[in-house]
Amino acid sequence: MSNKFNLAVSLIGVVAGLSTACASASEIRAAILKEYEAIVGQAFSADSGKQFWYQDNNGRSCTTCHTESLLAKGRHERTGKIIEPMAPSVNPKRLTKRKKINKWFLRNCKWTIGRECTIQEKGDILLWLSEQ
């Protein structure tokens, strides 16, 4: 094999790697939704996700920190730390890492509603957020 050929092969590898990295944001959300859907056995509802997001639970809701607008920056209720907007349309880094999504769903559901969210609830919310 010539060096030129090797170089061409590695360049193709880099280009392929880059394009998967770009495509992966919405693909990750789609993959998670598909997995959840297989577990609950029915499609998710963006409307229910939206309702859940704005629902008041004894003075707490998802908007307590993320604010009423998904397009705006939020602020952590306790620490005052700025939270970047939740809508992927204005914040492309949103909802692109499985580990992060899982971690915060767990933590924030417990804080907001006093228990873990069900897979149905997470699917509804994730679908709705993905469309923003």
Q: Which of 94, 123, 130, 132 binds ligand HEC (CB under 6 A)?
A: 94
130 part of the interface to ligand HEC, by CB under 6 A: no
List Cβ neighbours of 125 (8 Å cut-off, separation of 6 or more): 49, 52, 53, 62, 105, 117
Shortest distance in whole angstroms from residue 19 CB to ligand HEC: 22
Cα–Cα distances in angstroms (integers) from residue 53 to residues 1, 3, 13, in the given order: 58, 56, 41
By CB under 6 A, name the one of 125, 128, 130, 132 that touches ligand HEC.
Answer: 125
Please pick, from the candidates 25, 67, 108, 119, the single residue that binds ligand HEC as defined by CB under 6 A.
Answer: 108
Give the CA distances from residue 8 to residues 1, 16, 17, 20, 21, in Å, rounded to whole numbers and listed in that order: 11, 12, 14, 18, 20
C-beta closer to ligand HEC: residue 6 or 102: 102
How far CA 20 is from CA of 2, 17, 27, 81, in Å, comes to 27, 5, 10, 32
Instruction: Sketch the per residue contact string, 68 through 87, with ligand HEC: x for CB under 6 A, - otherwise.
Output: --------xx-----xx---
Binding site for ligand HEC (CB under 6 A): 62, 64-66, 76-77, 83-84, 94-95, 97, 100-101, 104-105, 108-109, 111-112, 125
